[in-house]
Structure 1
Amino acid sequence: MSKRVPSGYEKRKKKKEEQEKILKLPKINSFFSSAVPYEEGIINSNITQPNTKPTALNDTTLNIIESFKTEPQHSSSKVVPNVEPSLTLNDTTSDKLDTIETFTPEPAPSSSKDLDLTCRYPSDRGKFSDEVLDAQTKRLIMSFGPCKPDINFPRNDSNRKFSIEYYFMNTKSGFKIPRPWLCYSIILDMVYCETCWLFADRLNKSYHSNWVDGVNDWQHLAQKISKHESSTQHIEAGQVRSLWNKNKIIDEQLERQISEEADFWRNVLERIIKIILFLTTGNTALRGKEGKFGDCNKFAEGNFLRTVRLISDYDPVLNKLISNDKDCVKYLSHTIVNELIEILSSEIVKKNCDEIRTSQYFSLIMDSTQDLTKVDQLSIIIRYVKVNYEENKFEIKESFIGFYDLKHHTAKDYEQLIRKIIIKLNLDITKCRGQGYDGASVMSGKHNGVQTRVKYIVPSATFVHCSSHNLNLVISDAAKSHQKIINFFDTVQAIFNFFSSSGPRWALLAFNSDISNKIRAKVLKKVCPTRWEARHDAVFALKTRFVDVLKVLTQIILTSSKTNEKNLAMGLKKQIENREFVLILCLWEPILRALQGISKPLQNVNITLDQASNMLRNAVQTTQKLRNSFEDVSKNANELCLKWGISTSFLNKRNIFAKKHYDELDGDYRLNVTEENFKVPTYNVADSFGFLTPTTLLKLNDSDIIKYSYDFVLKYENDITSDFARQLIALKTVIINSEIKAIKDLAQFIISNGFPSSFPDILSACIIFMCIPVTVASAERSFSKLKLIKNYLRNTCNQDRLSSLAVLNIEREQTINIAIDKIINDFANAKSRRKNFLI
C-alpha cells in the first residue's frame, strides 16, 4: 500500500497553524537581563521551532555572535525575563540567529560509540544514519578528515564510474583546486557533500537532501558538482563550518574548556609514556608495594611513582596533577601502566611487521628456555632484509616478536603456535624462506620435526641448524673424546670451585702476584658446557694464572689449619703439577682461541651463510695446522713447566694392552674424529647458492650457469623466473672488473648502481640468501633479557606483561621514533575513558 500524500489544503492548514504558534512565542530580547550575562537555552527557544525562515549571515549577525561570552550554567531551568537596557535585538536579528546551529555538550549517542575507529575510512557516510549528528560525533568525523578513497571505483549499469579527478576543480589557467567537501562513500557507492551533511540547515524551505543522502548518477556529474558548490545551501553550511573550525560558535568557551582539558590530559599521558619508556628500556622494575597513588608511604612506592614525584618538582603539568587532591583520576595506577605498556609494545611489533610485509621474504628463528617459575618460554625472532631504494642501501634485521609460554612440547604444538602467531601478525607464511633452530629433535627432526612440518607448508623454507650451537657441540664432543681430556676439564672446574667457594682463598689468589695490578681482572672462570665461549675463558685464565695458582695452593698447604682445606689443596696441586696437564693446557688454549675467533662473528646479525662457511673452513685449517705443529706446543709447555720447576719429562707408566681377538689387526687406534665433525649443515645450504658468489660466477661458463640456474629455479619456482640464467650471463660482463667477492656485496652493487630492474631475479636470490639465518644468537640474547625482567623479585609478572616489557627493552632503538600522539589516541579509543584525550 502506497504512502498517503496530504492534499494542498491540508498542507496550507498545517502551515497556518505552525505560523500562529510561532507568533505566540516571546521575542528573543525578552530573555536577556542585566543581572545574568547569559543563560543556557536563550537562543534554543527560537532555533528548535520548525519552519523558521533562515536568512544569510551578515556582519550584524557575526558581531552579535562574537559579543556573546557563553559560560556553561548548571541551574538554567528557569528563564530570566529581565531585559538588559543596553542590548536590543530586533525580529530580523532573531530570525538570523536561527540559521546558526548551537552545539550543546551532550553525551555521545550510541552512534558515536559504535564508530569503528580501526577501519581505513572511519568517516564514511554509509556508517551513519540520515539524522543530524551530535557535536561529539561531528568532532570525531572532522578529526578523521573527509572520506576520499583512491580505489578502483565500481561501474554502474551504464558503464560509468566515479573518478578521483572530481576531487579537484580545474581552472582555466590549469590550476587544480581541491574540493574538501566532496567525499565518496565506499559502502553506499555514492558521492556526497560532507559540509552539507554535517552543517546544512534542514529546517530551511530550500533545503535539498540529494547531496546529503548521496548522488550515484555519474552522468553529467561535473555539472552537478559545480551547481551544488555554488548553491546557497552549500555556502551557508560552509559558513557554519568555518565558524565551528574557528571556535566562533556560540559555546566557544565550553569548547575551549574541553580542548584545554584534553590538552592537559594529553600532556599528562605523554609524560607517563616517556617515564615508562625510560624505565622499561633500562630493565628497571616499575612497581613497588603500592596499589594506587597515595595509598601508602611515598618512600615505599615503586620506581614509576617515585620518578613521577621527582619530575613533578620541576614540571608544572605533573605538579598540578599530583597536587590536585579533589580529582581522584590521575592515570597512575598499575592497570593504566600495564595498558600503556601493551599499547607501546604492540605499536613496535606492528611497525616491525609493516617492514616485514614490505620486504620480499623473511625467516623464522626460534628457541626456548625455562624462566624462574619453570615455565617454558618460546622466543620468536623474524629475520628479513629491509631495502631502501631511495638511499641505495639495505639492512639485515632480526626483530623480536615476543615470548610465548609453551604448555605442550610436540612438533605439532609448535606448528600450531607458529600458524597462530603468523596469522595474528598478518604475515604471509608462504613468504618464509628460512628456519633457524637449535639441534633439539623436536625442532630439527627430519621426519616429524618442526622444520619438516613448516617445509610441508612452504617447501622453500630452508632449515639451518644454528652454527654456534653446532660449533659448541663440536667442542663439547671433542672435550669428551678421551678420558684424559675429561679429567683435564674436571680439574679446571675443580680449581675454580675451590677458590670461588671461599672469600679468603679468592682474595689470596687475586693479590698474590707480582703483576697483580695488571692481571687482576683476569680471574678464574667457570667451565659451562652450554655457554659457547666458557671453555676458552676458563682455560685461558688458568694458563695466565698457572704459577699464581700453584703458589697459593702451596701457601694454603703450609699455613692452613683446616684439614679438609689442606687435603683439597694437596690433591689439586698434585693433579696440575705434572707435564701432562701443562701440555694439555697449552694444546687446548690455541685450539679454543681459534674457535673463539669465529664464535663472536657468528653471533652477528649481519653475517651471511657464505661468510659463516668460510670462517668454519678456516677453523678446520687452523686445527690441522696445530696438529702438525706439535713441537711448538711442546716447547710452550716446557717453558711453562720451568717457571715452577716441573719436570719436562713424562712419568713412566705401565703399558695397558687390550685383549686382541683373532680377527683384529695390529696397530694403534685413534678416535674417529674427522674433518666432518667441524662441518655443519651450513656448508650444504651455502653450496646451493655458491654459484652466486662473484668470484665463482666469473669462473663458470655459460653451460654451467644454465645448469645451476635451472636447479635453482626448480627450488624457488615461486620467486625466480626462467630469465634467471640470462641475467646471470649478462651480470658477468658487468662485474668483471669489480672487486666484490661475497653475495652480500653483490646485492649492494646491484642496488647502489641502479640495476634492481635489470637483474630482479638475481637481487631476489641475494635477498633470499641473506634472509636465511646463520645462528639463533638473537633468541639466546633475548633469554638474557628474560632473566633480567622476570627475576626472583618480579616472578609474578604475567605472560603478556613479560612479553611487552621484553619487546620494549630488546627493540629499544624503535622507541626513540615512536609516535606519542598515536599512542595517546590509541589509548583514548581503546575504551571509554573518564577524561577526554581527543582535541
Structure 2
Amino acid sequence: RCQRWVENCRRADLEDKTPDQLNKHYRLCAKHFETSMICRSSPYRTVLRDNAVPTIFDLTSHLNNPHSRHRKRIKELSEDEIRTLKQQKIDEAFERKQATQESNENNEQNTVSEEGGEEQEEKAVPLTLEERENKDYLKSLFEILILMGKQNIPLDGHNVDELPEGIFTSDNFQALLEYRINGGDEVLRKRFEMTAVNLEYCSRTQQKQMLEICENCVREETLREVRDSHFFSIVTDEVVDIAGEEHLPVLVRFVDDSHNLREEFIGFLPYEADPEILAVKFHATITEKWGLNMEYCRGQAYIVSSGFASKMKVVATRLLEKYPQAVYTLCSSCALNVWLAKSVPVVGVSIALGTIEEVCCLFNQSPQLLVELDNTISALFQDNDEKGNELKKICRSHWTGRHDTFEVLVDLLQALVLCLDAVSSDLSVRWNNFIVGRAFVLSSALTDFDFIVTIVIMKNVLSFTRAFGKNLQGQTSDVFFAAGSLTAVLHSLNEVMENIEVYHEFWFEEATNLATKLDVQIKLPGKFRRAQQGNFDPDMTSENYYKEILSVPTVEHIIQELKDIFSEQHLKALKCLSLVPSVMGQLKFNTSEEHHADMFKNDLPNPDTLSAELHCWRIKWKHRGKDIELPATIYEALHLPDIKFFPNVYALLKVLCLLPVMKVENEKYGIGRKRLKAYLKNTLTGQRSSNLALLNINFDIKHDLDLMVDTYIKLYP
C-alpha cells in the first residue's frame, strides 16, 4: 500500500523508504483516499480498509496556493502527463472496485482484530431512509436512558398500588420520551404520532435490552484501559441489596497511561449462597463476560459484611489456586480491626456489629439527637472535659470504621444508654414516633449483658492489632515497617492464647463492672438456657460460658486470619516497598530488594539487568543534591521525569501499588468507591438498578451512541 502511494505521488525522495518507515514517518492524510475506503467505526480514529490505496491527488493545487508553494518541491507535469496519470488512476480504481466486489461476496463482514476483541467494520452500502430513521429513533432512546442513569432517575414512576383502578400513568422513561416529543423531536413524533396515549411506547423488555447494552459499552471503556495497562487487582465491597436481590459490587485497580493508580467501579455480581458456585461465577464473569485475563491479576481483596467473610475467603482461595500471583490482601479502605471483627465466626459478634451500625445511623439521621448526646456526655465527663470533647468530636464522624471502634463504644456506652432512655421515655412531642421506637429498641440491645461482654472482649483482643492495623493505613514507610512487625503481633496473640484463662478473667471482670454501672443483670443468655432445658449444667457459670463461646474462638480466629491475609507472598511484596526512595533513606540505603522481587520476575521487561538497575537506583538517591527531597510514595516515584530510565523499577512500582492494601494516594482517582456509596445512600432499595448504577457512578466516562445503536441492531434485528 505504501509503495503504491509513493508511485502515485511521484515522490522520488521516498521511493527507497521501506513500508515501515513510511508508516511511521510519512503518514497519509485521509483526503488521499476514496470515501468508501475509509471506515469510521470508532470516534477516536480513522481506520483504512485492508485494500485501501490512495487514489485522490490534486497535483496542481499547490501552484495556486502561495502559502504552500515553497513547502515541497514537486515536479510540474505537462498536460499529457497529467492526462496519462488520470487515465491510470481511473483504470486502477475500476480494477479495485471489481476486486472489492468479489471479496465482499466471499466475506460479507470484514473484522479488525484488536487486543480487547473485534470491531465490525461499517458496510460501504448506504443506509436506506427506513434504516436511517430507525437508527435516529434508537439513538434518541439511548440518550434518554443515559440521561436517566447519569441523573439517577429510576425507570419506574408511581407504584401500581398508589393509583386508582383503571388509571394509566407513564413511567419515568415514557414521561421523558413524551417530553422530548413535545420539545420537537421529529423522529420520535413520527414514530409515535399514531400510538394511543395509554400504551407504552417502549416495552420493559426493550428497555432492559438497551440498558444492558449501555452498561456493557460504558464498562468496556474502563476495561479497555485496564487491558492496556496489563496488570490489575480486583476488590469487592460489602454485599448490597439491588431491587430485592443481593449483589456484590466489584471494583478494579490499575495504573493508567498517566501513571496514576485508579480504582474504578465496573459492576455488580449476583451473590450466591454457595461459596463454590460463587467462586465459579465470579471467575467466569471477570474472564468471560468482562474479558480480563486473570493471569495479569496481582491482588484481590474483599470487604464483606458479617456472615459473608467465610464465603468470600473460599472465593479468594479458589482464585489463588489458579492464579498464585493474585495475592490475597486487606483493602486499604477498611481498618484491619473492623475487617477482623466482621470475619469472626461468632454470632454474638455479628449481632453486636449490626447494633453498633444502627446506633450510629440513628444519631447521624437527627442533629437534635446528637445535641442530646452531647449534653449527656458533658454531664458524665464533668471532671474530664478533654475526654468529653474528644468523644463529642468522634460522635460526629463515622466512628464505626475506626481502628479503635470497640474502645470508643465502651467509653460511650453509658452516655448512649442514658440518652436513648431519655428519648424513649420523653412524653412531650419533641421526638417523632420513629425515633422514640428506635431509641427504645436500641437501648434494650445496648443493655443486654451478652452485648456488653462481647464488646469488652473484642476491645481487649483487638488491642493487640490496633497499632499494626493503623500503620497499614499510614504512609508507605509505615506499611513497610508494619510488615516487619507482624511476627511480634502474632507472638503476643499466641501468648494470650496460651494463658487465655488469666486474660479472660480480667476481661470478664471489666465487663461485669460496666454492666453493674448500667444496672444490667449478669447472667447467661436466655437462648442458651432455653436450649439446655432439662440438661442444664449448674456448674456452668457466665464466665466459663463466654470463655468457651467467645474468647477462645475469637483469639484463635484472629491468629489464623492474620496468617492467611499476610501470607509469605504478601509480606515479600510489602518488603519490596524499600524501592520507594524515602524508605531507602530511612534504611540508610542499605537495602536488598532483589531477593523479594523474585516473585515479580516475569513482570519485568529486563529481569537480567535488575540487580544493576537497582544499584543505580540506590546510588541516584544516595548521592542526590541537598535540595532534592526523597519521594515519599509510589505515586511520587512513578511521576518522576526520569523514571523510564529505570524500566524494571518502574514495572515493580506499578505492580506494588496495585496491591489493595496500598491506599490510592490521589483521592480523585479513587472516586469510584465514594460514588458507589453515594448511589446506595441516595437510592431506595426497590429503585436500584445494576445497569443504571453503572451509568450513574461512571457518569464522566465517554459513551459512543453510534456503537450502542449498532450493537442493538446486531443483537436484536
TM-score, normalising length: structure 2: 0.54
| Counterpart position of 1:754 | 642
Residue 386 of structure 1: CA displacement?
0.6
**Larger relative contact order, structure 1 or 2 (CA cutoff 8 Å, min sep 6):** 2
| Counterpart position of 1:437 | 302
| Counterpart position of 1:791 | 685
Say whether residues 1:354 and 2:224 are aligned partners: yes
Say if 2:235 and 2:331, in contact at 8 Å, map to a contact too.
Answer: no
- Secondary structure class of the residue paired with 2:329: strand
Structure 2 counterpart of 1:811, which letter? Answer: N
Give matches, 1:596-745, under 5 Å: 681=565, 684=571, 687-698=574-585, 705=591, 707-719=592-604, 721-736=607-622, 737=624, 738-745=628-635
Q: Deviations over 1:547-596 (max 9, x none)?
A: 75576688779xxxxxxx9xx99x979x98xxxx9xx99x989x99x979
Q: Aligned match of 1:309 in 160, 178, 184?
A: 178
Say if 1:491 and 1:572, in contact at 8 Å, map to a contact too.
Answer: no
Structure 1 counterpart of 2:11, which letter? Answer: N
Q: 1:712 to 1:267 in 2, by over 3 A?
A: same
Say if 1:610 and 1:686, in contact at 8 Å, map to a contact too.
Answer: no
Q: 1:191 to 1:747 in 2, by over 3 A?
A: same
Structure 2 counterpart of 1:791, which letter? Answer: T
Q: Aligned match of 2:337 in 471, 491, 516?
A: 471
Distance in structure 1 (CA, Å) of the matches to 2:398 and 2:656? 36
Residue 346 of structure 1: CA displacement?
1.3
Residue 305 of structure 1: CA displacement?
1.5
Give matches, 1:43-442, under 5 Å: 170=11, 179-181=32-34, 230-231=86-87, 234=90, 268-288=137-157, 300-317=169-186, 320-321=189-190, 324-325=193-194, 332-366=202-236, 369=239, 371=241, 375-388=245-258, 394-406=259-271, 409-411=274-276, 414-415=279-280, 417-419=282-284, 421-437=286-302, 440-442=309-311
Say whether residues 1:823 and 2:708 are aligned partners: yes
For the aligned residues, what is the CA RMSD?
A: 6.9
- Secondary structure class of the residue paired with 2:221: helix
Distance in structure 2 (CA, Å) of the matches to 1:729 and 1:764? 16
Distance in structure 1 (CA, Å) of the matches to 2:399 and 2:609? 52
Say whether residues 1:462 and 2:349 are aligned partners: no
Q: 1:793 to 1:426 in 2, by over 3 A?
A: closer
Distance in structure 2 (CA, Å) of the matches to 1:675 and 1:617? 18
Structure 2 counterpart of 1:359, which letter? Answer: S
- Secondary structure class of the residue paired with 1:363: strand
Distance in structure 2 (CA, Å) of the matches to 1:533 and 1:316? 58
Q: 1:436 to 1:478 in 2, by over 3 A?
A: closer
Distance in structure 1 (CA, Å) of the matches to 2:292 and 2:374? 62
Structure 2 counterpart of 1:170, which letter? Answer: R
Structure 1 or 2, whichever has the larger Rg, is 1
Distance in structure 1 (CA, Å) of the matches to 2:311 and 2:350? 29
Distance in structure 1 (CA, Å) of the matches to 2:297 and 2:345? 37
Say if 2:33 and 2:52, in contact at 8 Å, map to a contact too.
Answer: no
Q: 1:290 to 1:466 in 2, by over 3 A?
A: closer
Residue 273 of structure 1: CA displacement?
2.6
Q: Aligned match of 1:771 in 658, 663, 677?
A: 658
Structure 1 counterpart of 2:643, which letter? Answer: F
Q: 1:320 to 1:716 in 2, by over 3 A?
A: same
Structure 1 counterpart of 2:696, which letter? Answer: N
| Counterpart position of 1:810 | 697
Residue 299 of structure 1: CA displacement?
6.2
Residue 765 of structure 1: CA displacement?
0.4
| Counterpart position of 2:62 | none
Structure 2 counterpart of 1:457, which letter? Answer: K
Q: 1:407 to 1:551 in 2, by over 3 A?
A: closer
- Secondary structure class of the residue paired with 2:257: strand
- Secondary structure class of the residue paired with 2:90: helix
Structure 1 counterpart of 2:173, which letter? Answer: F
Distance in structure 2 (CA, Å) of the matches to 1:524 and 1:701? 42
Q: Deviations over 1:65-124 (max 9, x none)?
A: xxxxxxxxxxxxxxxxxxxxxxxxxxxxxxxxxxxxxxxxxxxxxxxxxxxxxxxxxxxx
Residue 546 of structure 1: CA displacement?
7.3
Q: Deviations over 1:154-200 (max 9, x none)?
A: xxxxxxxx777568653789997875259799xx99788999xxxxx
Q: 1:734 to 1:455 in 2, by over 3 A?
A: same
Residue 678 of structure 1: CA displacement?
11
Residue 784 of structure 1: CA displacement?
7.9
Give matches, 1:495-644, under 5 Å: none
Say if 2:471 and 2:478, in contact at 8 Å, map to a contact too.
Answer: no
Residue 803 of structure 1: CA displacement?
3.8
Residue 527 of structure 1: CA displacement?
12
| Counterpart position of 2:66 | none
Say if 2:248 and 2:270, in contact at 8 Å, map to a contact too.
Answer: yes
Q: 1:326 to 1:608 in 2, by over 3 A?
A: same
Q: 1:761 to 1:370 in 2, by over 3 A?
A: same
TM-score, normalising length: structure 1: 0.48
Structure 1 counterpart of 2:610, which letter? Answer: F
Distance in structure 1 (CA, Å) of the matches to 2:418 and 2:427? 14
Say if 2:248 and 2:269, in contact at 8 Å, map to a contact too.
Answer: yes
Residue 763 of structure 1: CA displacement?
0.6
Quick one: percent identity of the two aligned structures? 16
Distance in structure 2 (CA, Å) of the matches to 1:492 and 1:172? 81
Residue 709 of structure 1: CA displacement?
0.7
- Secondary structure class of the residue paired with 2:608: coil
Say if 1:290 and 1:302, in contact at 8 Å, map to a contact too.
Answer: no
Unpaired stretches in structure 2, ≥5 consecutive residues:
16-25, 40-48, 57-81, 98-125, 379-388, 429-435, 493-513, 519-538, 542-551, 664-669
Q: 1:331 to 1:237 in 2, by over 3 A?
A: farther
Residue 301 of structure 1: CA displacement?
0.9
Distance in structure 1 (CA, Å) of the matches to 2:168 and 2:127? 36
Q: 1:599 to 1:821 in 2, by over 3 A?
A: farther
Aligned length: 537
Q: 1:788 to 1:741 in 2, by over 3 A?
A: same
Distance in structure 2 (CA, Å) of the matches to 1:454 and 1:773? 16
- Secondary structure class of the residue paired with 1:708: coil
Structure 1 counterpart of 2:204, which letter? Answer: H
Distance in structure 2 (CA, Å) of the matches to 1:297 and 1:408? 41
Distance in structure 1 (CA, Å) of the matches to 2:12 and 2:600? 57
Structure 2 counterpart of 1:806, which letter? Answer: A
Say if 1:367 and 1:437, in contact at 8 Å, map to a contact too.
Answer: yes
Q: Deviations over 1:341-381 (max 9, x none)?
A: 22221111211121011103111224673746775534433
Distance in structure 1 (CA, Å) of the matches to 2:372 and 2:585? 61
Structure 2 counterpart of 1:230, which letter? Answer: K
Distance in structure 1 (CA, Å) of the matches to 2:263 and 2:283? 17
Residue 760 of structure 1: CA displacement?
0.6
